[in-house]
Structure 1
Amino acid sequence: MNILLADDSRATATPTIHFLTTQGYRVTHVLNGQEALAAYQADRPDLVLMDVVMPIMDGIEATRRIKGLGGARWVPLMLMTGLSQQDEIVAGLDAGADDYLIKPISFQVLSARMRSMHRIATMQDSLFGILDNVYEAIVTIDEAGIVQSYNTAGERIFGYSAAEVVGRNVKLLMPPPYAEEHDGYLARYLRERTPHVIGTGRTVRGRRKNGDVFPMRLAITEIRRADASLFIGLLRDVSEEEAARKRIEFLALHDPLTRLANRAYFNETLAGLSAKPGDDPHALIFIDLDGFKPINDRLGHEAGDEVLKVVAGRLSHALARCDFVARLGGDEFVAIAKNVGSAQNAKRVAQRLLEVLSVPMTLQGATCRVGASIGVALLGRGMDTGMALNAADSAMYAAKRDGKGRVALAGEASP
């Protein structure tokens, strides 16, 4: 146990030091309040014994400054004062002292007081032991947003040590724009007392020491004390949960092989598609590969899967960013080209897709080629999407009947 003793009288300090060292304690002795403050900051002790009357900085001012440093763990501080100095005792306790001793010091009383402080410290350590072993980060801040405590889970989640966080503004743990806005939110709450986050849980963004931004679940509780409020934040890193949720959502709406939208996503998109007054119609493009089955049969399903992935990539790159492409199943794909303007423009878009699909590809060291039969239908304001899809499908079959490797426009007579 490390004890900081601040006493400018060597005559009274020496017996106390001798007693404490014979009891197995390590004692750091300083001669004034300024040295006591510096020693406390350099090597935080387990107990402080502070004389009241000292040069340069008295014990009461030193007590006030030491207690003002805060910190995650409580360090007991006992004043040493004369029997008749009740005003000093009151001033010292008001400055933050936890107990006092009457000079000359009775070592029997000192031992009893130290045992009492040790029992309180043990309870504190037990509590912090629990808090340090919970899964969630627990961060407490004062009304100025300054971190008062920060547990081991916080160190693990954010990457900062407690020494790097305690005493600093909690916005250190936030990415922009939350960091810039936090002080204003806190000040407005203290002024209006209208809670938005306190008492409820929500998902927010945190920032690690390395700069990574991650999702976390935050719940805040306010403890209102006589002098000021203390806010306790319970934080849990939900990066894995959010990644799993996004993957489930992605798989529900996308083809796992090509990573294009699947039939369900296409149907949802088509059902919600509507043109505003004055908008050009959209092109609904139905694509069925030609020559896919022989490659699949000759080179195997892995090669066939590779063909489908290459086709998906070519379609995605050939369409505009605002357009949509999906794999319906097997070797059938569908695309929606937005605001094409006319049937001929729609046909030109489809022809471009046919050209990129016809470029040879290399599979298992062999050059292979697939083509496509493509049907196109226009979809504009007031048009029935189901009828447009059937029209594009029928046009695709017409292209196959007419010799494959071509584009057919719904309603257009075959050559």
Structure 2
Amino acid sequence: MKILFADDCHIAALPVILYLEKCGYTVNHVENGQQAIDSYLQETPDLILMDVMMPIMDGIEATKTIRALSEDHWVPIVMMTGLNEQSDILKGFDAGADDYVIKPVNLRLLLARLNAMRRVVMMQESLFNILDNVFEGIITIDQKGLIKSYNRAAERIFGYAYHEVLGENIKCLMPKPYSEKHDAHLERYQKDRTAHIIGVGRKVQGLRKNGEVFPMRLSVTEIRRNHETLFIGLVSDISEEEIGLRKVEFLAMHDSLTGLPNRAYLNETMELILHSAASSDKKHALLFIDLDGFKPINDELGHDCGDQALRIIAQRLRSHLPADDFVARIGGDEFVVLCYDVQTAENALKIAGRLLEAIKGVMLLNEQPRQMSASIGITLIPQHGKTATELLTLADKAMYQAKKQAKGSLILAGLSV
């Protein structure tokens, strides 16, 4: 246990120092109040033994200053005063002292006092160790939004060290627009008690020291202490959780091989198109694409090459269409394309023709040049159906007609090409 011992009298201090060191304490001896403050700032002790009467700065003033510097962390201060200086005891308590001993110091009594304080310090340290080692960041602010405490988990989450944020407005940990609104929210809550997060908890965004904005879960509790209101925030960094959630959502709506939307995503998109088409004069097209020549690649070169071929076709379809158009793989070697605002059947046919040419391009699989073609069935939205099932079924039938007619051809429902 480290003791900061402030006493200007070497003769009186020496036996105290020797006795405390013999009892296992580490003692840092200084000679006035200013040196005590400087030493405290350099290395926080576990306990302070402070003489009242000292040159440059007395013990009362030094105690006031140290208490102002350590609002968030209690360090016990034991005052030393003469028997005829009882008034100093009251001044010491007012300044923030926790106990006192009378000079000349009774060493056994002093040790008993220090051991009592030590037990309290150990309980405090145990609590701080718990708070510092929990997974969640714990941050305390006052009624003005100024940070009063900030645990190690918060340091890890936000990237700021404790001393960098202590006394700063909590806004420094928030991106816009949260930072711009926080003070008004806090002031309004203290006036009308309308809570946005306090007692509720919600997902918000935090701001790291490096400028990174990240998702976090925040819950806030209000406490009252010594006629003062404090707000304790419990913060969890959910960046990894959000990444995992987005991955699950992506896999649920996308084909794992090509990365294209899957049938479920297609169905949702079809519903949106049909809904908008009911109140618009725009015409869209649905292209049902089935590859010709895919099975020989699988059989002769293996499934890895077959997978590679599907990825190449997916990339070609995507790259030969506007960014707003929709491409999905719905199974095996079947793809569906939704072309927005084509307006005429002729335009839909031209788009399908371009895709056929793109699909026919030579691809290198296992160092072997290979080619595939495709058969395409086309339906127009909303002319050929009012539901996704109707449109897909009709396009599927048109695709099979194209395949029977000649592989590598396309058919618009009701018209062969």
TM-score (norm 2): 0.88
Deviations 1:153-185 (A, max 9, x none): 344444554455545444444444444544443
> Which amino acid in the other structure matches residue 286 of structure 1?
F
Offset at residue 379 of structure 1 (A): 0.9
**CA 1:358 to 1:39, structure 2 compared with 1: closer, same or farther past 3 Å?**
same
Runs of 5+ unmatched residues, structure 1 = none
| Counterpart position of 2:414 | 411
Offset at residue 72 of structure 1 (A): 5.4
Offset at residue 329 of structure 1 (A): 0.7
Counterpart CA distance in 1 for 2:357 and 2:186 is 60
> Which amino acid in the other structure matches residue 189 of structure 2?
Y
Offset at residue 346 of structure 1 (A): 2.0
Q: Are the equivalent residues in 2 in contact too, given 1:287–1:333 (CA < 8 A)?
A: yes
Task: Give the 3-state SS of the residue equivalent to 2:376 in structure 1.
Answer: strand
Q: Are the equivalent residues in 1 in contact too, given 2:384–2:391 (CA < 8 A)?
A: no
Offset at residue 117 of structure 1 (A): 0.5
Deviations 1:251-274 (A, max 9, x none): 221111111111121112212322
> Which amino acid in the other structure matches residue 68 of structure 1?
A
**CA 1:185 to 1:94, structure 2 compared with 1: closer, same or farther past 3 Å?**
farther
Task: Give the 3-state SS of the residue equivalent to 1:302 in structure 2.
Answer: helix
Counterpart CA distance in 1 for 2:10 and 2:119 is 30
Task: Give the 3-state SS of the residue equivalent to 1:308 in structure 2.
Answer: helix
Task: Give the 3-state SS of the residue equivalent to 1:272 in structure 2.
Answer: helix
> Which amino acid in the other structure matches residue 116 of structure 1?
A
Task: Give the 3-state SS of the residue equivalent to 2:233 in structure 1.
Answer: strand
| Counterpart position of 2:405 | 402
| Counterpart position of 1:342 | 344
Offset at residue 306 of structure 1 (A): 0.8
Counterpart CA distance in 1 for 2:175 and 2:117 is 41
Offset at residue 334 of structure 1 (A): 0.4
Counterpart CA distance in 2 for 1:337 and 1:205 is 37
| Counterpart position of 1:307 | 309
| Counterpart position of 1:370 | 372
Counterpart CA distance in 1 for 2:205 and 2:265 is 29
Runs of 5+ unmatched residues, structure 2 = none
Counterpart CA distance in 1 for 2:284 and 2:86 is 89
Q: After alignment, is 20-29 or 323-332 more displaced?
A: 20-29
Counterpart CA distance in 1 for 2:91 and 2:355 is 85
Q: Are the equivalent residues in 2 in contact too, given 1:70–1:148 (CA < 8 A)?
A: no
| Counterpart position of 2:77 | 77
Counterpart CA distance in 1 for 2:15 and 2:167 is 36
Deviations 1:86-145 (A, max 9, x none): 554344323322223334433333222111110101111222233334333333333344
Counterpart mapping for 1:2-401 below 5 A = 2-70=2-70, 73-83=73-83, 85=85, 88-273=88-273, 274-275=275-276, 277-380=279-382, 384-385=386-387, 386-401=389-404
Q: Are the equivalent residues in 1 in contact too, given 2:286–2:391 (CA < 8 A)?
A: yes
> Which amino acid in the other structure matches residue 246 of structure 1?
R
Offset at residue 368 of structure 1 (A): 0.9
Q: Are the equivalent residues in 1 in contact too, given 2:283–2:380 (CA < 8 A)?
A: yes
Q: Are the equivalent residues in 2 in contact too, given 1:284–1:392 (CA < 8 A)?
A: yes
**CA 1:288 to 1:278, structure 2 compared with 1: closer, same or farther past 3 Å?**
same
Deviations 1:331-373 (A, max 9, x none): 1110111222222222222222222222211110011111111
Deviations 1:54-85 (A, max 9, x none): 44433333222212223654211122334455
Equivalent residues, number: 414
Counterpart CA distance in 2 for 1:19 and 1:265 is 79
Task: Give the 3-state SS of the residue equivalent to 1:297 in structure 2.
Answer: helix
> Which amino acid in the other structure matches residue 393 of structure 2?
N
Task: Give the 3-state SS of the residue equivalent to 2:288 in structure 1.
Answer: strand
Task: Give the 3-state SS of the residue equivalent to 1:203 in structure 2.
Answer: strand
Counterpart CA distance in 1 for 2:66 and 2:194 is 34
Q: Percent identity?
A: 54
Q: Are the equivalent residues in 2 in contact too, given 1:71–1:167 (CA < 8 A)?
A: no
Deviations 1:258-300 (A, max 9, x none): 1111112111221232226444112111111121112122111
> Which amino acid in the other structure matches residue 284 of structure 1?
L
Offset at residue 12 of structure 1 (A): 4.0
Offset at residue 3 of structure 1 (A): 1.6
Q: Are the equivalent residues in 1 in contact too, given 2:216–2:237 (CA < 8 A)?
A: yes
Counterpart CA distance in 1 for 2:70 and 2:168 is 11
TM-score (norm 1): 0.89
Counterpart CA distance in 2 for 1:285 and 1:382 is 12
Counterpart CA distance in 2 for 1:5 and 1:131 is 29
Counterpart CA distance in 1 for 2:56 and 2:72 is 29
Deviations 1:183-238 (A, max 9, x none): 44334433443222122332233344555444333222222113322222223333
Q: After alignment, is 71-80 or 337-346 more displaced?
A: 71-80
> Which amino acid in the other structure matches residue 216 of structure 2?
M
Q: After alignment, is 238-247 or 177-186 more displaced?
A: 177-186
Q: After alignment, is 302-311 or 3-12 more displaced?
A: 3-12
Q: After alignment, is 254-263 or 346-355 more displaced?
A: 346-355
**CA 1:290 to 1:8, structure 2 compared with 1: closer, same or farther past 3 Å?**
same
